[in-house]
């Protein structure tokens, strides 16, 4: 990977992370929880969201992380609905950002802009798809767990305790790609409708 590719990737990752985390923060704000806003996280400023180590691993291994947005679901009028909407908001933000990138690619013919928009679109699609995996602490688990009856709390707790080893196994064996690919393909098809 040459320097220009690294710089384009950093821009693309910064946009994808910022949009994703802002989505969570803004959705929580709309639903009555201003925790993220109080911590200065309801912003598109990448500096507020990027974890340096997460960024480096993303550049090297294509898998990384951001600083999670603090959310207190106890402030929602409806805990389950709020949890689902806030969990979905990050992925929705990434999909909307990818659509904007596709529109830019369609109408702006400058090579540099096209390259940045193209890479940013790809990262946003992958962010949305990966975060929808139903594995803690990813957003997909926030969605799925909202629908699991309270009587299964003990099973949920055990699963959540095992989540990091499960996630690491999925990542380092490449199995996550098999699960993510169908989600990514659906998002890709939605985004490319605008090209």
What is the number of H-type helices and E-type strands within the chain?
9, 0
> Is there a catalytic annotation at residue 21?
yes
- Determine which one of 21, 111, 154, 160 is catalytic: 21
Active site residues: 21
């Amino acid at each position: 990977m040459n320097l220009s590719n690294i710089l384009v990737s950093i821009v693309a990752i910064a946009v994808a992370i910022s949009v994703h985390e802002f989505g969570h923060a803004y959705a929580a704000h709309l639903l009555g929880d201003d925790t993220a806003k109080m911590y200065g996280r309801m912003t598109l400023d990448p500096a507020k969201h990027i974890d340096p180590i997460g960024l480096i691993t993303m550049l090297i291994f294509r898998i990384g992380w951001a600083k999670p947005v603090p959310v207190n679901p106890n402030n929602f009028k409806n805990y389950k609905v709020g949890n689902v909407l806030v969990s979905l908001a990050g992925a929705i933000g990434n999909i909307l950002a990818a659509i904007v990138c596709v529109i830019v690619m369609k109408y702006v013919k400058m090579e540099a802009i096209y390259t940045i928009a193209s890479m940013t679109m790809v990262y946003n699609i992958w962010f949305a798809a990966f975060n929808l995996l139903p594995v803690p602490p990813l957003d997909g688990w926030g969605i799925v767990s909202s629908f699991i009856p309270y009587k299964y709390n003990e099973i949920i707790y055990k699963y959540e305790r095992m989540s990091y080893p499960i996630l690491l196994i999925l990542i380092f064996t490449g199995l996550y790609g098999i699960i993510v690919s169908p989600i990514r393909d659906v998002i890709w098809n939605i985004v490319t409708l605008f090209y």
